[in-house]
Amino acid sequence: MLLGDAGLWLRGDDLLHRLEPGVPWAFPGEWRLATEGVSGPGMDFNVMTQRSRASAEVTIATTAQQPGAEGIAFVLKGDWQLAGNHYSPASGIWWQGETPGAFMPHSEEASLLLADIRRHNEIPDRSKNE
């Protein structure tokens, strides 16, 4: 997800996608992509997981949230209370193992990038032990 003010194009095999600031877009990491229309320095947020072990869902929150057991929260605008502490724009937290408690906005314009990471139940490959 782009965090800056300007969008850009992503081009790949049989793909042309307009990436807009503040709009999450999921794609396989092995895709060969090139950018077009970059007008200056930018910042983005990426979450990469090994598909066989975990998946991630990125959303933008403007209301109170109760996050899952693993994830990342990054303040985009306004003020937030995350895990009992105050956070302002361009700051955030990550957690693993148990939910850090409710996330609460503390200003009208508050928005939060929330990446929920879910582990998949792994089935052991028993053929290696036979």
Q: What is the pLDDT of residues 53-105, one digit of tens each?
A: 999 999 999 999 999 999 999 999 999 999 999 999 999 999 999 999 999 99
**DSSP conformational letter for 48:** -
Q: Which residue from 123, 114, 102 is spatially nearest to 53, judged by alpha carbons?
A: 123
| pLDDT confidence of residue 42 | 82
Cα–Cα dist 20/7, whole Å: 4
- CATH 2.60.120.10 segments of the chain: 54-119
The answer to whether 62 and 75 have CB atoms below 8 angstroms apart is no
β-sheet bridge partners, residue 18: 9
The 10s digit of each residue's pLDDT in 12-65 is: 999 999 999 999 999 988 999 999 988 888 888 999 999 899 999 999 999 999
Question: What number of other Cβ atoms are within 10 A of residue 121's Cβ?
Answer: 5
Q: What percent of the chain has pLDDT over 70?
A: 93
Cα–Cα dist 5/96, whole Å: 31
Map tokens 């307009």 to a residue. Answer: 18
List the single range of 9-13, 75-79, 125-129 with lowest mean pLDDT: 125-129
Question: What is the separation, in whole angstroms, between the first and last Cα of the chain?
Answer: 45
Which CATH class for the 54-119 domain?
Answer: mainly beta
